[in-house]
Chain A
């Protein structure tokens, strides 16, 4: 099985353990991921906040490169990139005049033929069917599956999972031997792009998320987004000072949990890179 991969910027830098775990799990399950050659940044929040056309043109170049490189499906592990690429596909499909401007001005060949998969969809489609027999170390812990915003919203465009109480990651964790808990902050925002410019807001929003997970007995929080991860993990100082208590529940990427259940090496999954030590 060969799939295209759009890692995005975070996965090459501050969230490289996400890439490491995605690649390790894929390799263990016989999936070859080929990075889109010469990809650019999707523009993230900054682009759509300041300039609509830019926020469509940057992802359009990525999708057009993937088409040119013969890819039918691409995996986009970052929830924010997944959102930008999917929204762009949707905008270009529904607004011919925008598509005309963006493709003509930037000399892009764009047909809209590439399927964009988030990490949960990729695992559900290509990993889970054979997962049962491969589990050697069930991840026997209570986990709070945290979906965040951009993996599930807006449903009108993403058409992926329920917006208020999504279950896809919970079901995946069950298959990895974990015990997903019922909690109230599955899709509340962590503060996302305000991490640097308003760290206090992030401390509050991520603090409320951590607190609920802790109160309900979670031993780990499971994420599928580098921004959610860095806010809940790297910003734990801001969280703890907002809550005025010390919470040391680790935050793991869904792919790290699958990797552990598959018996892969902790270092290969990048667990040593987290700020909050993973002692489970």
Chain B
């Protein structure tokens, strides 16, 4: 019997993941290699294999916990879990989907505020100039998080080493890039 027919399909969030990403959560047999290899496991409330199991239960309460978890935001998408999974389940792809859904539905974990602020500052920077402007990114991030003093020691050292551009690089096609943002950002970012 092939793996394709051996498992029944999931309902609920697990099925949504399958429909949007092709990732088959029901193929997970809880060997735990993903959680063992994950460099951030110890900072997560639910390591990757726990997330898989929670979604396998089809229990809406557990699904909600996943969407509101810190886990999905602290995941670095380092791809270690995927490379070690004996069933080749693309867990990082699932995480991307869960993050986007969590953001869209306003369910982001409060502890992930700084991580999300950084992503948003990063995208805002490239939306307006086409390329990342590192000083702009840091200023925007500080404004979002009120971490005004963070990395203040680093910045002058970076400047002295020629590692920071004072002015942004603005590309000719910045309106094309802004349009890419507007088209794909129907819902969030």
Interface residues of A (CB under 8 A from B): 9-10, 12-16, 38-41, 43-55, 57-58, 61, 105-107, 149-150, 153-156, 163-164, 187-189, 191-194, 196-199, 201, 205, 234, 272-275
Contact = CB atoms under 8 A, between A and B. Distances in A.
Contacts of B157: 275
B170 to A, nearest CB: 10
Nearest to A83: B79
Interface string B99-131: 110010000000000111111101100100011
Given A38-B172, A48-B96, A196-B150, 10 more contacts: A49-B96, A50-B116, A50-B123, A57-B184, A106-B183, A149-B79, A156-B88, A189-B76, A273-B163, A275-B161
Contacts, number: 163
Contacts of A57: 180, 183-184
Chain A to chain B: the 5 pairs with minimum beta-carbon distance, closest first? A9-B132, A153-B79, A189-B78, A53-B184, A46-B119
Contacts of A106: 176, 179-180, 183
Contact of A45 (B97, B119, B181): B119
B154 interface: yes
B83 interface: yes
Given A50-B100, A196-B118, A272 B181 contact: no
A189 B78 CA distance: 6
Nearest to A48: B96
B103 A50 contact: yes
B114 to A, nearest CB: 4
25 contacts: A9-B126, A9-B134, A12-B165, A14-B134, A40-B173, A44-B122, A46-B120, A49-B99, A50-B99, A54-B123, A54-B184, A105-B183, A106-B176, A154-B79, A156-B88, A188-B39, A189-B76, A189-B78, A193-B118, A194-B74, A196-B118, A197-B141, A198-B74, A273-B163, A275-B161
Contact of A14 (B40, B123, B130, B158): B158
A12 B158 contact: no
A50 B39 contact: no
A41 B126 contact: yes
A198 to B, nearest CB: 7
A38 B40 CA distance: 37
Interface in B150-166: 150-151, 154, 157-158, 161-165
Given A9-B132, A106-B183, A273 B39 contact: no
Contacts of A189: 39, 76, 78, 80
Contacts of B158: 14, 234
A224 B54 CA distance: 37
Interface residues of B, number: 59
B173 to A, nearest CB: 5
Nearest to B75: A49
A52 B93 CA distance: 10
B189 interface: yes
A12 B114 contact: no
Contacts of B36: none
B154 A198 contact: no
B75 to A, nearest CB: 9
B169 A12 contact: yes
B108 to A, nearest CB: 10
B164 A205 contact: no
Interface in B69-101: 73-74, 76-80, 82-83, 88, 90, 96-97, 99-100
B131 A12 contact: yes
B180 A54 contact: yes
A45 B96 CA distance: 10
B136 to A, nearest CB: 11
Among B88, B154, B180, find the residue whose CB has the most chain A CB atoms closer than 10 A: B180
B138 interface: yes
